[in-house]
């Protein structure tokens, strides 16, 4: 697809970052986009090859001009997505990871919503299982008025994944993904919502997330665990600092997201193979930044329960040691799952 100053911009840019993904997965991803009920002239597919060991352009030759592929040095997912954003011309942006797929029938509801009310953000659900049948999906009734992104955040927990949202490109401003960090969506998504004037949330699972053993959440080596937690804590501290500069209700909205992320970090510290010394250092780091103890707010019952359980140093230490032992560990895991 060639850029032209006289060309009308497409409705949606589908940005697909790729790094060493099996060719069959990448092809399935592209075909799922092509299967959507949107005319080729109304969409563009931008594939960003993030320095894969085997270049992906030859794998995409069968798609012809329907796919634009650029290759960059390997700099990580954040930079690949940022590159895709810089190239995208669509009025709306949809991120699709190359090992995942969009589900055409449920995603059609997102497209209908976009055409009907043109919100800044359309939210939908992700699923780890493919539907057994291509059953029709009906568009649920749309509300008479749509909340702003700030209002939505005050009342709801956000799902971090940037792939779960179809959003207007012009609300980005200078927002981009932070370089050299894992869990970069935790930084990007709440800031995107703060800039949205209208949000429409749909109860449809329109995105298939393919579980596989090489995802960043599957690796449990000590260096990787440390990097994951360092990234999350860095993002948590940056969002907390930003919240302090905002006026209400944006401060309240980001405060809820920050508290939820702080809980997620503590849950990770209980589940991941940390030493007692590292665990104590990380809890103390949260305390220094005013992120622990968790605020006692009834965002959700599981959140309030966890905030109460971790209110005191002695109970935090008890949870840490309980998470490392036999039957008690299994019970602690149930609490963890209930809270996430």
Confidence of residue 156 (pLDDT cuts 50, 70, 90): very high
Classify domain 12-208 by CATH number.
3.90.550.10
Phi, psi dihedrals of residue 47, rounded to the nearest 5°? -100, 125
**Residues 29, 101 contacting (CB under 8 angstroms):** yes
Instruction: State residue 285's pLDDT score.
Output: 96
Rounded alpha-carbon distances, angstroms, from residue 295 to 20, 113, 151, 159, 235:
42, 36, 20, 20, 18
Pairing, β 199-208 against β 101-102: antiparallel
Confidence of residue 339 (pLDDT cuts 50, 70, 90): low
pLDDT at 248 over 50: yes
The string of pLDDT tens digits covering residues 29-72 is 999 999 999 999 999 999 999 999 999 999 999 999 999 999 99
pTM over 0.75: yes
Rounded alpha-carbon distances, angstroms, from residue 217 to 38, 49, 187, 220, 224:
34, 22, 17, 8, 9
Instruction: State residue 1's pLDDT score.
Output: 39
Phi, psi dihedrals of residue 29, rounded to the nearest 5°? -60, -50
- Percent of the chain at pLDDT above 90? 77
| CATH 3.90.550.10 domain span(s) along the chain | 12-208
Half-sphere exposure of 131 (CA within 13 A, CB side): 16
67-72: strand order across its sheet: 67-72, 43-50, 12-18, 92-95, 165-168, 121-127, 199-208, 101-102
Higher-confidence residue: 188 or 136? Answer: 188
pLDDT at 220 over 70: no
* Mean pLDDT for the stretch of residues 74-102: 97
Confidence of residue 138 (pLDDT cuts 50, 70, 90): confident
Confidence of residue 221 (pLDDT cuts 50, 70, 90): confident
Instruction: State residue 214's pLDDT score.
Output: 64
Is 102 in a helix, a strand, or coil? strand
Instruction: State residue 127's pLDDT score.
Output: 94
Peptide bond into 293 cis (omega under 30): yes
Confidence of residue 212 (pLDDT cuts 50, 70, 90): confident
Higher-confidence residue: 43 or 313? Answer: 43
* Mean pLDDT for the stretch of residues 273-295: 95
* Mean pLDDT for the stretch of residues 191-214: 92
Instruction: State residue 16's pLDDT score.
Output: 98
């Amino acid at each position: 697809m060639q850029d032209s100053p006289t060309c009308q911009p497409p409705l949606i840019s589908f940005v697909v970052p790729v790094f060493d993904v099996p060719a069959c997965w990448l092809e399935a991803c592209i075909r799922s986009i092509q299967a959507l009920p949107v005319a080729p002239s109304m969409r563009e597919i931008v594939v960003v090859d993030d320095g894969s060991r085997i270049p992906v352009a030859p794998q995409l030759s069968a798609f012809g001009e329907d796919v634009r592929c650029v290759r960059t040095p390997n700099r990580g997912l954040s930079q690949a997505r940022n590159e895709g954003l810089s190239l995208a011309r669509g009025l709306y942006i949809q991120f699709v990871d190359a090992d995942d797929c969009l589900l055409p029938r449920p995603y059609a509801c997102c497209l209908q919503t976009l055409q009907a009310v043109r919100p800044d953000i359309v939210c939908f659900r992700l699923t780890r299982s493919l539907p057994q049948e291509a059953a029709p999906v009906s568009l649920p009734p749309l509300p008479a008025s749509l909340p702003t992104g700030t209002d939505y955040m005050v009342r709801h927990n956000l799902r971090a994944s940037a792939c779960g949202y179809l959003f207007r490109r012009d609300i980005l401003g200078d927002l981009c993904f932070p370089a050299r960090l894992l869990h970069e969506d935790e930084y990007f998504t709440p800031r995107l919502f703060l800039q949205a004037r209208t949000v429409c949330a749909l109860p449809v699972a329109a995105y298939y997330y393919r579980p596989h053993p090489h995802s960043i959440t599957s690796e449990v080596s000590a260096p990787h665990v440390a990097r994951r937690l360092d990234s999350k804590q860095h993002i948590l501290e940056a969002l907390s600092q930003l919240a302090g500069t905002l006026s209400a209700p944006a401060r309240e909205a980001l405060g809820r997201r920050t508290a939820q992320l702080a809980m997620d970090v503590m849950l990770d510290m209980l589940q991941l193979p940390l030493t007692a010394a590292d665990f104590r250092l990380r809890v103390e780091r949260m305390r220094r930044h005013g992120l622990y103890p968790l605020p006692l707010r009834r965002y959700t019952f599981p959140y309030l329960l966890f905030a109460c359980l971790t209110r005191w140093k002695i109970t935090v230490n008890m949870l840490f040691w309980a998470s490392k032992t036999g039957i008690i560990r299994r019970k602690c895991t149930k609490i963890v799952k209930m809270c996430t």
